[in-house]
Every structure is written in structure tokens, then in C-alpha cells.
Amino acid sequence: MSNPNEEPRWDKNSRENQAHAAAWIEERESGDWSEARQAEFDAWIAQSPAHLVAFLRAETVWKHADRLRALTNPGPMKPNAAGPSTRKTTFLKIAAAFAVVSLAGTGAVALFQSPKAQTYSTTIGGHETLTLDDGSQIELNTNTTVRVAYESGHRNIWLDKGEAYFNVVHDPGRPFVVTLGNRRVTDLGTKFFVRRDQDRIQVALVEGKARFDAALEPAPSQQTVLTPGDIVTATAETVSLKREPSRNLSNQLGWRRGMLVFDHATLADVANEYNRYNRTKLVVAGAEAQRLTISGTLPATDLGAFTRLATKFFNLRVERHEKEIVVSR
Amino acid sequence: MTETPENGCESDDQGYGAGMAASEVNAWFVREVLPLEAALRRYLRTGWRNDSDVGDMCQDIFVRALEAARKEIPRAARPFVFSIARNLLLDRLHRNQIVSIDAVADMESFGLASDEPLPDRSLSARQDWKRLQVVLNQLPERWRDAVVMRKIEGLSRKEIAQRMGLAERTVAQHLASGIAALTDFFNHDAAEPKGAP
């Protein structure tokens, strides 16, 4: 065919084409159809293969709906009416493969109650789930340190660095409080995650409710009750709250499956993420290469997946050194 | 189960497109390509994060498939259609530099490159009927009423207008909207009555 870079000549708007196709189908069988309209219809079809596609597509479904009539009285329903079809199988297989990846790095640790705070850490690339004695769970991402102090009236957690996902068994008589430097999250019946980089923290609420205190000192101020989808980002000077669709939240939690999920991320961002999980550091050299963008899911500790992508789809050069991998144009 | 021909709708014999074997190509397209849409959408969604583009991309792929088939009808539709989809993603990758690697790299793992029949092709008549009911019940009430009167009772636009006490033009709009919505419900994976009792 012609040059693939040329903009296609047909009408690109599939919604519009579909609406027109549906209107034509309706009119053809409305009981009010003329030769003149037939000619106009033929012209519309001939105008663009996209019109033909839209018409065939809608007409096929519409004809299929004839079965409503054919089967309007289908007799007694048999109890073995089948459940949903099996078309999700391929997805399940893929999900299962991910699950193996993440389970391999997960060890559940029961915590003994102790008056003093106990410290738990993961190394770079690590991933651990703590199950606390009240049933609450803390899932630690790479390079993360938390301290846990359970007392009769309080459950106090400090996230000193890294990222963690909290699944809290709510107990109003025994508040579950996560402290990040000068800021604090209090559980009100919740699943949430918290990430702490050098000078920035992020708190995102997945389920339930939590309270966020923006500043503990000099005086407690700026309390916000978070609801699902809320993400608080706080730096030393600023606090911002935004709401994200749940898919974005689950993307950010890809690490729980051992995966990094990117949505229009630049290669520079991708490298930064990878570097949280791996001792061998990725360097994307050159502004041009850094600006390339991808969406997709990559295994967090498989640098090979990234370099294959870089060579295969972006034609980038990959140099391996002892402690780093440099990717450039 | 019988298929009742639609009044004034005998498309199988008409060639809508240009070219010599248009009706044959169209029949191939309806029989082999259209049933792939749900799988195709699923594939595109993993490759393209912007859902609103998926419909246009699907159309684009269908158009390319149809045009190619006018020269020669491919022997195996599924690998053919999915290789078009993959090339489209690669095109976008090169032009816009934004595309998902999942889809481009992992097409094989989706099992879409093979030509085994898709499981959903073999719905029993009763499953099919149930699914139609479910889909129909998702339509807004007026659209559904108009569709039922047209489809099941075989009423003309004028008769439906009298029955519903609406202008004919409004009935035409309800019907067209109903047809378009049914088309979506049937072809979009997302609209499946999944997990529904």
C-alpha cells in the first residue's frame, strides 16, 4: 500500500462513524426508505472503508439481535446455564507468573510484642511482608526501614525510608499511626501506602479512610481525612492533595507483585525507578534518550528486560560496566 | 433456532465496497474479523493506555484488514489481524515514542498469534440468548423499549412513535442510539456480563 506515514484518508472518528452507521441501519428498516436515500447510503459507504467497517460491525450485531425474537420464548431455563466465558484465562496465566515473582521475595514475619520499637528493613531489591500480632500487615518495598512499637493503647509505626503498603485491622481503641518525619497518617479503617524519598513523601489511600497530619511541630495543623484515591504529596515546604483513578493507584503498587508499572514515563524516570531496586545502576545518557517515553510493566529486578527494550524498540546502545549500565543513542 | 431475515436488510448479497468480490470480502470480514474485536481491544488496551483511542485504533486495524483482503483474503484471520495491530503499535512507537512494551513484546504470550478458535465463539444458543438479555437490560429504558418494539414486534418507526407517544424523529434517534449501544456492548470486552449471576 502507500506510505505508512501518510495520514490515512478515511474518517478517523470511529464514534461518529458508528453513530452514522446506526442511523442508516435504523432508517433502512424504518418503513420509510427511498431510492434516493439508498443512493445516498451507497455514496456514504463508498466514501470510506471506515464507513463500511462501521456499518458491517453495527449491522452484524443488529442482525444477531434477531435471536431475541427467535428465542423470545426459550422454554424453561435449565439450571446449568453457563457462567462467564473462559476468555480471561490468558490474563490469569500472566497474573500467575507475576505472583511467582513476588512470592519468591516475600517472607512473612510474625512480630513479638515489645515495649521498645523494633526495626525491620529490606535491602535493595527486597520485598517483605510483616504480619503483626493484631493481624495488620505491612508490606515493605525495596530499601525500606520501618520501626514498629505496639503498646496497649497505641500502635506506632515510623517509616524511616522507602515505601510500604499497610493493610490495617482497625481498632478505634488502639490507633494505628504511621509517622514520617514531621508528618503523620492515622488509620481510620484502611489500606494505604506511603513512600518516602529524600525530601518528599507520598501517602495514597487505597481503601477505607485515614487522617493525614501535615505538620506535627511546632503545632499540629492541617488535618485532612483521606478517602480512596486520594494521594498526598508533601515536601518540606508544600503539601498537595490530588485524586487519582484507582488504576493509577494499583499501577503504583506494581511492586507488590514485583513489577514496575509505567504510564507514559520517560526513560529517565524509568531508570530512577529501577535504581531503587537494583545495585547495578541504570544511566540513561543524553537528553534525547531520556525523553523517550514508555508505558508498560517490567519486572523490578530484571535489568535485562529494560536493556532488551532499549535495544529492540528504541535502537539505543547499551554499555555494561561493573556497577552501571549506560544506555544512550 | 431460526434466523429471520430483516425487512429490507439483505446485505449478504450486496457488495458495499468497491472491487470485484466485495460481498465475499465483506462476508469474510464479518465472519472472521469482527469476532476478534473483544480480544483485539484487550490487546490494544495493554499496549495503549489511552482508552479513548482504542476504538479509533480498532477501526484503523479493521480498515487495513479489509483493504488488504480486497487484494487477497488471508488464510488465517487472527494472526493476520494481530500482526496489523502489532505493526500499528510499532508505527506509533516510532512516530510518537509512546507505546506499551507489554503488547509489542509479549503478543505471543497472549496466544493471539496462533489460530486456535477463541473460546467465545462457541456460545450455546441459550448462553447467547442470556447475554443478549443482559446487554439489552443495560440500555436506557427508552432505547430498549424502541429496540424491543422494532426487533421483537417488528414495528415500523411510525408505529413505534404512536405507541410511545413520541415524534418519529425521536424514535429514530432512540433506535439509532440503541443500535450503536448494542454494537458497543457486544464488542467491548468491558461490557461483558462478567461475574454477573
Same domain, B77 and B114: yes
Say yes or no for a CB contact (<8 Å) between A264 and B120: no
- Whether B101 sits inside 8 A of A296 (CB atoms) is yes
What mean pLDDT do residues A315-322 have? Answer: 90
Say how far apart CA A244 and CA B188 lie, in whole Å: 24
Kindly state whether residues B55 and B112 are assigned to the same domain. yes
Q: Is residue B1 domain-resident?
A: no
> What is the C-alpha separation between B102 and A20, in angstroms, rounded?
34
The matching CATH number, chosen from 2.60.120.1440, 3.10.150.10, 3.50.50.60, 3.40.50.10420, for A100-250 is 2.60.120.1440
Q: Which residues of A touch B177 (CB under 8 A)?
A: 22
Residue A86 has pLDDT above 80, yes or no: no
Q: How confident is the model at residue A90 (pLDDT cuts 50, 70, 90)?
A: very low
Q: Is residue B145 part of a domain?
A: yes
Coil, helix or strand for B56? helix
- Which residue from B25, B9, B54 is spatially nearest to B190, judged by alpha carbons? B54
Predicted local distance difference test score (pLDDT) of residue A43: 93
User: Are the beta carbons of A157 and A177 closer than 8 angstroms?
Assistant: yes
Query: What does the pLDDT read at residue A283?
Result: 94
CB contact under 8 A, A90 and B186: no
Say yes or no to pLDDT of A252 above 80. Answer: yes
Q: Residues of A89-101 as b/e, b for ≥16 C-beta within 10 angstroms?
A: ebeeebeeebeeb
Q: CA B17 to CA B70: how far, in whole Å?
A: 9
The answer, as to whether pTM is greater than 0.80, is: no
Q: Do A12 and B175 touch (CB under 8 A)?
A: no
| Shared-domain flag, residues B145 and B116 | no
Give B101's contacts in chain A (Cβ within 8 Å): 294-296, 298, 309, 313
- What pLDDT does residue A91 have? 31
Report the 10 Å Cβ neighbour count for B16: 20
In single-letter form, the type of residue at position A52 comes to L
Do residue B101 and residue B177 come from a single domain?
A: no
- For residues B139 and B147, the answer to whether their CB atoms sit within 8 Å is yes
A5, A53, A64: residue with CB nearest B66: A53
Percent of residues, chain A, with pLDDT higher than 90: 25
Say what the pLDDT of residue A68 is: 62
Same domain, B137 and B187: yes
pLDDT single digits (tens) A285-302: 998 888 888 877 788 888
Last residue of a domain, one of B120, B135, B162: B120
- Please give the residue range of the domain that contains residue B27: 11-120
**Amino acid B50: pLDDT:** 67
Q: Above 70 in pLDDT, residue A46?
A: yes
Whole-number pLDDT of residue B115: 46
pLDDT digits 0-9 by tens, A142-192: 999 999 988 888 899 999 999 999 999 888 888 899 988 878 888 887 888
Which pLDDT score, from 0 to 100, does residue A163 have? 93
Structural domain contains residue B170:
yes
Nearest-10 Cα torsion for B173, B176, B178, B181? -120
User: B160 with B108, same domain?
Assistant: no
Question: How do residues A126-137 score in pLDDT, each as one tens digit?
Answer: 888 888 888 889
Alpha helix ranges (H) inside A29-126 = 35-47, 49-64, 66-70, 89-104
Same domain assignment for residues B81 and B21: yes
Do B113 and B136 fall into the same domain? no
B40, B85 in Cβ contact below 8 A? yes
| Average of per-residue pLDDT across A86-104 | 28
Give the residue-averaged pLDDT of A7-16.
66
Q: Do B120 and A18 touch (CB under 8 A)?
A: no
Residues B19 and B109 occupy one common structural domain: yes
- Interface probe, candidates A53, A294, A302, chain B, greatest B C-beta count within 10 A: A53
| Record: contact B1-A71, CB cut-off 8 A | yes
Q: Where are the domains of chain A?
A: 14-69, 100-250, 258-328
Look at residue A312 in the predicted model and tell me its pLDDT. 76
Pick the closest to residue A275 from A62, A111, A125 (CA basis). A125
Q: How far apart are CA B14 and CA A211, in angstroms?
A: 66
pLDDT average, residue stretch A43-72: 83
pLDDT along chain B (197 residues), means of 10: 39 42 87 89 74 84 93 88 85 61 49 46 60 81 90 88 93 94 75 34
What distance in Å separates the CA atoms of residue A268 and residue A289, rounded to the nearest whole number? 8
What's the pLDDT at A246?
75
Total number of domains in chain B = 2
**What CATH number is given to the structural domain containing B184?**
1.10.10.10
Q: What's the mean per-residue pLDDT of chain A?
A: 77
Nearest by CB to A14, which of B55, B136, B148?
Answer: B55
Whether the predicted pLDDT of A107 surpasses 60: no
CATH (residue range A258-328):
3.55.50.30
Quick one: cell of B151?
426487533
Q: Does the pLDDT of residue A324 top 60, yes or no?
A: yes
Is residue B196 situated within a structural domain?
no
Among A58-72, A248-262, B60-74, the least confident range: A58-72
What are the pLDDT digits (tens) for A116-126? 678 888 888 88
Position A69 scores a pLDDT of 61
Question: In which band, very low, low, confident or very high, does the pLDDT at A304 lie, cut at 50, 70 and 90?
Answer: confident
Tell me phi and psi for residue B116, to 5 degrees. Answer: -65, 150
What ipTM was assigned to the predicted interfaces of this complex? 0.78
Residues B84 and B28 in one domain: yes
Domain boundary among B120, B155, B174: B120
Domain boundary among B120, B153, B173: B120
Report if residue B183 sits inside a domain. Answer: yes
Q: Which of residues 63-102 of B touch A (CB under 8 A)?
A: 63, 66-68, 91, 93, 95, 97-102
Partners of A57 on chain B (C-beta within 8 Å) are 34, 37, 62, 183, 187
Q: Give the span between the Cα atoms of B82 and B64, in whole angstroms.
A: 11
Rounded-to-integer distance, Cα A68 and Cα A65, Å: 6
Residues from chain B contacting residue A70 (CB–CB below 8 Å): 1-4
- What pLDDT score does A239 carry? 79
> Do B108 and B32 share a domain, yes or no?
yes
> Could you tell me if residue B2 is inside a domain?
no
B137 in the same domain as B115? no
Least confident of A9-13, A167-171, A213-217, A266-270: A9-13
